[in-house]
Structure 1
Amino acid sequence: MKDREVIERVENYLREKFLDRGDAHDYWHMMRVYKLAREICMAEEGDLQIVSLAALLHDVADHKFLEPGDTEEGKLAEVLDELEILGETRERIEEIILNLSYKGGTNRYEFDHLEGKIVRDADRLDSIGAIGVGRAFAYGGSRDRPMHDPLDKPKEFKDLQEYKKNNGSTINHFYEKLLKLRDGFYTETARKRAVRRHEFMEEFLREFLLEWEGKA
């Protein structure tokens, strides 16, 4: 099967499964990460097919959305089987996807190849900036989290289980994760884009907190 045919098959699968989700990890998030990853890849000269497939599929087995008894490895294998993605391409995609997530800052996995770094950069770019602000509140709302609670301070998480149990406010999420991402980008292409997006979030938070206190 030609590379473009594989991409189209994956796009159709994602559109069918994830188009109507309202938790900010939907089809459109996957497509934005895919487009970002391809742009970074072309600038940084990585393997475009590996990057494209890993970016498109990066959230299909996310730990936040697994059913009881499921594992990330098992769910991802099920999807890749259905899409008939095999061989060395599959092995590299699995490695990237299973080690991509931020996981409350507890993920210490470092990619030793450019493709993994590109996909992680693309995913994290879509977590910050104006899109990042919108996604944070969409996800928080889907989990019944308050926008802001001045009495609940941002936290540090010692492990993934502690991170999963956290149900703090969306504003806390900016300090617990989103504002920390700026210094963790691998590629020069992503680092340049991250500057503007990070600055937007800082300005948004200043305005939000002024309005919260009735000072603006």
Structure 2
Amino acid sequence: MDKQQQLTAIYDFTASKLGNDQTGHDMAHIKRVVKMAKQLNQDNLGDPFIIEAAALLHDVIDEKLFTDITAAKASVKDFLTQIAVPAKTQTAIFDIISNMSFAHSLENRPTLSLEGQIVQDADWLDAIGAIGIARAIYYGAKHHEKLYDPAILPRENLTKEQYRNLADETIINHFYEKLFKIKDLLNTAAAKEIATQRQALMRSFVTAVKEEWV
């Protein structure tokens, strides 16, 4: 099995895990992250296989989506071994997908490889802009969050545990607690340039919601 065949198999594996997702972490999201990661790595300084594989797999061990993360990781490891991905490459992939989430950046942000920085940027860019707005509403509605409540202020200096507590969040506050922060946390110059326009769109949206609120 060559690398392209391995990537095709990895895509199918991810589709088997996320194909029915209803939180905005579906295969459309995965495809956009893969496409953006390739764009950010257009100079090919990062390993293309590791980047694409990590982009494909980054949500299959996400604690937002799966309750047994140990079992999820074991499933990925067994699969990658089955399709003959070398152990060193597996380690590089796991180092990325285990440490790239926004929640992990709240306390002692991990240092990522170049490939990890690229995949993280690609994933985080999909959380902002027009798609980001739609995904925030989609995810929040799935978890029965309020759209907005002026009496509930955005939370500051969140721990990972507090960030995961959706009972204390509104969809609009999520923009302040995460989405508006992403631009300044991105790793690559290319991603930061893309984020500037997307950030402006989100701020216009949030301002409009507040102006139109009853």
**What's the TM-score once normalised by structure 1's chain length?**
0.91
Report the counterpart of residue 109 of structure 2 in structure 1: 109
Contact 2:100/2:112 (8 A) holds in 1: no
Report the counterpart of residue 143 of structure 2 in structure 1: 143
**What amino acid does structure 1 have at the position aligned with 2:129?**
G
**What amino acid does structure 2 have at the position aligned with 1:194?**
A
Contact 1:54/1:93 (8 A) holds in 2: yes
Report the counterpart of residue 76 of structure 1 in structure 2: 73
Which sections of structure 2, spanning at least 5 residues, go unmatched?
Answer: none
| TM alignment of 1:134-213, pairs within 5 A | 134-167=134-167, 168-213=169-214
Q: How far apart are the structure 2 equivalents of 1:61 and 1:110?
A: 17
Alpha-carbon distance, 1:59 to partner: 0.6
Q: Deviations over 1:28-67 (max 9, x none)?
A: 1111111111111123621111100001100101011222
Contact 1:54/1:119 (8 A) holds in 2: yes
SS at 1:15 equivalent = helix
**What's the TM-score once normalised by structure 2's chain length?**
0.91
Q: Call closer, same or farther: CA 1:88–1:2 in 2, change over 3 Å.
A: same
Contact 1:44/1:189 (8 A) holds in 2: no
Contact 1:23/1:138 (8 A) holds in 2: yes
Q: How far apart are the structure 1 equivalents of 2:44 and 2:150?
A: 42
Q: Is it true that 1:4 corresponds to 2:4 in the alignment?
A: yes
How large is the RMSD of aligned CA atoms in angstroms?
1.7
**What amino acid does structure 2 have at the position aligned with 1:183?**
D
- Residue identity over aligned pairs, in percent, reads 35
Contact 2:17/2:60 (8 A) holds in 1: no
Contact 2:96/2:112 (8 A) holds in 1: no
Q: How far apart are the structure 1 equivalents of 2:95 and 2:66?
A: 18
**What amino acid does structure 1 have at the position aligned with 2:14?**
L
Q: Call closer, same or farther: CA 1:78–1:154 in 2, change over 3 Å.
A: same
Q: How far apart are the structure 1 equivalents of 2:46 and 2:150?
A: 44
Q: Is it true that 1:16 corresponds to 2:13 in the alignment?
A: no
Report the counterpart of residue 47 of structure 2 in structure 1: 47
Q: Call closer, same or farther: CA 1:104–1:143 in 2, change over 3 Å.
A: farther
Q: Call closer, same or farther: CA 1:104–1:43 in 2, change over 3 Å.
A: same
**What amino acid does structure 2 have at the position aligned with 1:22?**
Q
Report the counterpart of residue 119 of structure 2 in structure 1: 119
Q: How far apart are the structure 2 equivalents of 1:88 and 1:195?
A: 36
Count of residue pairs the alignment pairs up = 210
Q: How far apart are the structure 2 equivalents of 1:44 and 1:127?
A: 24
Alpha-carbon distance, 1:205 to partner: 1.0
Q: How far apart are the structure 2 equivalents of 1:198 and 1:144?
A: 25
Which sections of structure 1, spanning at least 5 residues, go unmatched?
Answer: none
Contact 1:104/1:163 (8 A) holds in 2: no
